[in-house]
Structure 1
Amino acid sequence: MSVPETQPTALVLTALPLEYDAVRAYVEKRRERVHRDGTRVEIGQLPSTTWHIAIAELGVGAGRAAALTTLLISWLNPEAVFFVGVAGSLKDDVGIGDVVIGTQVYEIHGGKQTPEGFQARPKAHSASHALVQSARSAVRDMADVRAHFMPIATGDVVLADAESEIAGYLRENYNDAGAIEMEGSGAAHAAHLNGQLDALVIRGISDRADAGKRDADAAGSQELAAKQAAAVTFAVLRKHRPRQGSSASSDPEEGPQRRGDGGATYGGDHIDFRGGTFYGPVTGKTDGRR
């Protein structure tokens, strides 16, 4: 009797409740899991795909996103990580309701203060080539989404004044960025430090990062932007193929499982040789179940 492969996991992260709700609408058969430190995720299925989807609402800020993304990667062993939500536009041609797919994510606060002024020292995290390619393919079929492939700026600031000092700083040092948000660089950095892990930041535009932000938010622009970003995210996952031979388990109660060279799966305190070949003695234990 053949044993089905465990399914690959995509980790989809948000900062705000409305972003989480937009993502959650795409995930079926959800069940909640709680890490020993109290961090919660819901894990479910993306219909008609092999993807398990783990979703989490992390709260605001790049530092928080980096720490919790690192924890979730270690716990859930995903092969793709997305940070999804709303952002402010930094370009005249990137409008409310548009979606920016981050080809790079900038950390905007690094630099050196000198007597001559502040000198920026930009740090950038490149997006996964495979995910960007999947996104380019996916959005061609989405007539109701206007997508832009551009860098995204991350900073611990809510920008609501286009004439402010920070707005000028962005124009001078990050003038190719299409959007500004608060968490993407933290998640991207955590994914980078974990090696061969595909990562992508997808942001729906909810305002123009100017004095009209409050009015735009009151008109429902954040809900629209979150829904558009979520729609693109799951269109990307429907295009993106898991790595060949992927068998990462998304069930934290079982722990990460991997397929060994001989076809066995191992995880926690057990090894399953069904469907594999083993040569040599085995010493093991049983809990009485069959």
Structure 2
Amino acid sequence: MNRIGIIGAMSIEVDFIKSKMTFIDEKRYAGFNFYLGKYKNLDIVLTICGIGKVNASSCTQILIDRFNVSKIINTGIAGSLNDDVKLCDIVISDNVTYHDVRQIQMISCYPYKEFFCANKELINLAIRAYQNICPKENNYHIGRIVSGESFISDKNLKQAIIESYNPYCVEMEGAAIGHVAEINDVPFVIIRSISDNADENATISYEEFEKISANISAKLVLKMLELLITE
């Protein structure tokens, strides 16, 4: 079965997608709600994993084990870590890793990888989806996304992450989702829209742009689903 798993950390990140789905059933495992339904003729399982890496990884494994999804798309918001990545821009993951786990630990311990690569077909699908969105009110970028257990709003920490990882944006779940997807051989991609610049003004910017950015990411995901229907 070609069933697509869609994960958001918060309801605000998936509400727009949820509003466009036809629901068939709802399941609850380990405190996570899984909404089974269709987007047009595509089978979808949509879920809200909560904030942080442990929640994200737990929810992702359940999504794989219980619902046998063939692809995973993570949608949501993030803080920019690149001067070219502006508020409300879209970042499509090339690869994902943790900014709060030492790189030597990543390559020395299972699964012995410094980062986890997004699926090339899903990356290309996201690019085509962006190209089919009209009007275009923001730019898109393809690059590394880093995750960690903190909301980044300190310029010194921001600079340290940039120097170590050269990422395009930072958030709190994507690397965990990619990690679990990869060790299960499930194709994944992380889609994020920028809500803040991960600096001293991050909290103010986040509050202003979180819904706008969340919907930008969600609309791109819906366009990806539409393209999948036509393939």
* Matching of residues 1-290 of structure 1 within 5 Å: 8-27=2-21, 29-35=22-28, 37-47=30-40, 50-111=41-102, 123-142=114-133, 143-144=135-136, 145-162=138-155, 164=156, 166-175=157-166, 177-195=167-185, 197-219=186-208, 221-240=209-228
| Pair 32,235 (structure 1): closer, same or farther in 2 beyond 3 Å | same
Seq. identity, %: 24
Q: Is contact 2:92-2:143 (8 Å) kept?
A: yes
Q: Counterpart of 1:123 in 2: which secondary structure?
A: coil
| Pair 70,112 (structure 1): closer, same or farther in 2 beyond 3 Å | closer
Between structures 1 and 2, the one with greater helix share: 2
TM-score (normalised: structure 1): 0.71
Q: Which protein has greater RCO, CA pairs closer than 8 Å, 6+ apart?
A: 2
TM-superposed CA distance for 1:130, in Å, is 0.8
Opposite residue 15 of structure 1, the aligned amino acid is A
Measure the CA separation in 2 of the matches of 1:86 and 1:211: 17
| Pair 108,242 (structure 1): closer, same or farther in 2 beyond 3 Å | farther
| Pair 38,182 (structure 1): closer, same or farther in 2 beyond 3 Å | closer
| Pair 95,9 (structure 1): closer, same or farther in 2 beyond 3 Å | same
TM-superposed CA distance for 1:38, in Å, is 4.4
Displacement over 4 Å in runs of 4+ = 119-122
| Pair 241,105 (structure 1): closer, same or farther in 2 beyond 3 Å | farther
Q: Is contact 1:8-1:242 (8 Å) kept?
A: no
Q: How many residues align?
A: 224
TM-score (normalised: structure 2): 0.89
Please give the per-residue CA displacement for 1:141-161, whole angstroms capped at 9, x wherever unaligned: 223242111111111110012
Measure the CA separation in 2 of the matches of 1:140 and 1:167: 31
Measure the CA separation in 1 of the matches of 2:29 and 2:75: 25
TM-superposed CA distance for 1:168, in Å, is 2.5
Q: Is contact 1:42-1:56 (8 Å) kept?
A: yes
Please give the per-residue CA displacement for 1:104-125, whole angstroms capped at 9, x wherever unaligned: 1112222279xxxxx9968211
Is the deviation greater in 138-147 or in 92-101? 138-147
Opposite residue 51 of structure 1, the aligned amino acid is L
Determine the structure 1 residue equivalent to 2:110.
Answer: none
Measure the CA separation in 2 of the matches of 1:107 and 1:152: 9
Q: Counterpart of 1:45 in 2: which secondary structure?
A: strand
Measure the CA separation in 2 of the matches of 1:126 and 1:132: 10
TM-superposed CA distance for 1:238, in Å, is 2.2
Measure the CA separation in 1 of the matches of 2:30 and 2:52: 19
Opposite residue 145 of structure 2, the aligned amino acid is I
Please give the per-residue CA displacement for 1:119-144, whole angstroms capped at 9, x wherever unaligned: 99682110001101111222112232
Please give the per-residue CA displacement for 1:41-63, whole angstroms capped at 9, x wherever unaligned: 1122112xx31111111111112
**Larger C-alpha radius of gyration, 1 or 2?**
1
| Pair 241,45 (structure 1): closer, same or farther in 2 beyond 3 Å | closer
| Pair 112,214 (structure 1): closer, same or farther in 2 beyond 3 Å | closer
Measure the CA separation in 2 of the matches of 1:87 and 1:235: 20
TM-superposed CA distance for 1:102, in Å, is 0.6
Is the deviation greater in 62-71 or in 34-43? 34-43
Unaligned runs of 5+ in 2: 108-112
Unaligned runs of 5+ in 1: 1-6, 114-118, 244-290
Alignment RMSD (CA, Å): 2.3
